[in-house]
Structure 1
Amino acid sequence: MRGYLVAALLLSLSSQPAFAWGTTGHRVVGYIADAHLTPAASAEVKRLLALENKSSLAEVSTWADEIRSVEGDHGPMHSVRLPLDGDNSFQLNRDCPEKRCIVWQIALEKQALRSRKTTAQAKLFALKYLVHFVGDIHEPLHASKDTGRWPVQLNGKDTTLHMIWDSDIVVFNARGRKPPELARDVDASDDRPVDSSGKPSSWAIEGRNIARDYILTSRLMRSKAAKGVRLDDRYLEASWPIAQRRLKEAGHRLAATLNEIFK
């Protein structure tokens, strides 16, 4: 029992910062997904969102972070910690001990949305979790054993590598664009089709590989071991193509998931 009713009652009393992708990134994922829903899925999503006078997935995309202080240690996991030297397979018992990981959590939300026994209110909560978790699993450091939660400097200010990937890259490259406009630009950012046929476990493996090959590079790790990591706006700009692609993939895959559930 997640304590949904308690969380809903306390939500208005708490204002917690968003984590993976930050507010802007999660809303971008929601807007992209909204744009690719089938008519049937869109109608069902709007019916559920109307229970809280909401009209878009973007509006509820950060809810799962906002209630984390209420849920405490018993809340759902927002990550899966795949070893950087692991292979490209996913084994539930090995990679999701005691079924405490985001891959399993996504499966639970999908099951709740499909079930005829789930009440409308419970389906709304499952939907709000799902939109957030599909975003989270596409942030590479949410699928890596090394979370990047260690000190770095960005433009001379103390932060962490994880926070840079969660928020700074997206906010910097938004360059003042609001989430709806940024979502349209991200969705149109390249002509490569998004493969939405895979499972959440494969999305996590993609993210772990990005963390290994493009984020936690040997050069960066040497800097960490020596004088420390010092980054600037050039890093934020150079990292944008990767982050942008992951946001686009998250939006399309969220839409495909909901289209399949509500067909």
Structure 2
Amino acid sequence: MLRYLVAFAALFAMPAPAFAWWEYGHEVVARIAWLETTPRARAEMRRLMALQARLDTPTCPVRTIEEASVWADCIKPLGDRFSYQNSWHYQNVHICRDFDQAAACRDGNCVSAQIERNARLLADRSLPDRERLMALAFLVHFVGDLHMPLHAGDRGDLGGNRVPVSYGLIEGRTNLHSAWDGYIAERAISTPAAGARGLLSELTPDRKAVKREGTVTDWARESWEISRRHAYGTIAEDPCAAMPEGRPVIGEEDVQRLIPVVRTQVARAGLRLARLLDEALG
């Protein structure tokens, strides 16, 4: 009986799902970037965010970089007004074929292309402040999205949304995407040393510099590879073979192995976002 009570309590102790990387993941990526940008870039972001009323999204404020990090998800329920951005959060590049970002980014409707586009918009000081503030919010969010592996690679299954899994005792509607989007990410980020400062404390200046390197396409390829090797590879010995029948379980041993992978991705996202913000604003 005690064993069942402990299991029941553990189930309700788990966080409830929200957004991609869930809110906590996006906010930590944003906070890392804020801590790592130059004072000049932070000053310009403060100036832009002070104008957040111009976005006319009172239910989705952008008063801080943490709020900006979830704005692009928050506006989804606003319907036709922002429906154009629905496909900008991901790119479904098949993990069992050659990496082909161009096919997944036709007409710029993918997360990699929108990172590059919004970085350009943010840097263009001839544009109205409202447009640059919107670009800032999109950029902060999309860099986080790209570093969630199942926003960069899949097997034609909507980024793992059609792959049922159990996260320990949690099953029901849980799938591979939601397990990585939230449960594993929150577990990894909250593992000591926790949060933005905790993740940064594990990195020397040289290691930070290395993680900031590369192009957006390099980052996309890296995330795509993690999707194949670690996301699908955790539930199937061969990630390109048929998925196991039933509902594979992502257990504690799997989670312990994945925690450093996810922590690295979150740190990379924050440091790379800081670089893009410095290039645009610093």
When the two structures are superposed, what TM-score results if normalisation uses the length of structure 2? Answer: 0.78
Q: Which amino acid aligns with 2:124?
A: S
1:232 corresponds to which of 241, 251, 257: 251
Say which SS state the counterpart of residue 91 (structure 2) adopts: coil
- Is 1:166 matched with 2:166? no
Number of the residue aligned with 1:134: 143
> How far did 1:181 drift?
5.4
Alignment of 1:158-237 (within 5 A): 158=171, 159-175=174-190, 182-191=195-204, 192-193=207-208, 194-217=210-233, 218-219=236-237, 224-237=243-256
Deviations 1:134-177 (A, max 9, x none): 00001111000331112111223221111111110122244488
Q: Is the 8 A contact 2:92 2:154 kept in 1?
A: yes
Q: Which amino acid aligns with 2:146?
A: I
| Structure 2 unmatched ranges of 5 or more | 1-16, 53-60
Q: Is the 8 A contact 1:168 1:236 kept in 2?
A: no
C-alpha distance in structure 1 between counterparts of 2:33 and 2:108, whole Å = 27
Q: 120-129 or 65-74: which moved more?
A: 65-74
C-alpha distance in structure 1 between counterparts of 2:190 and 2:106, whole Å = 40
Aligned length: 243
Number of the residue aligned with 2:128: 119
Q: 20-29 or 102-111: which moved more?
A: 102-111
C-alpha distance in structure 1 between counterparts of 2:48 and 2:36, whole Å = 17
Root mean square deviation of aligned Cα: 2.5
Alignment of 1:1-263 (within 5 A): 18-52=18-52, 56-71=64-79, 73-76=83-86, 77-87=88-98, 90=101, 92=102, 94-146=103-155, 147-149=159-161, 150-158=163-171, 159-175=174-190, 182-191=195-204, 192-193=207-208, 194-217=210-233, 218-219=236-237, 224-263=243-282
C-alpha distance in structure 1 between counterparts of 2:196 and 2:213, whole Å = 22
Q: Is the 8 A contact 1:34 1:56 kept in 2?
A: no
Taking a change above 3 Å as real, the CA distance of residues 98 and 223 of structure 1, as seen in their structure-2 partners, is closer
| Structure 1 unmatched ranges of 5 or more | 1-16
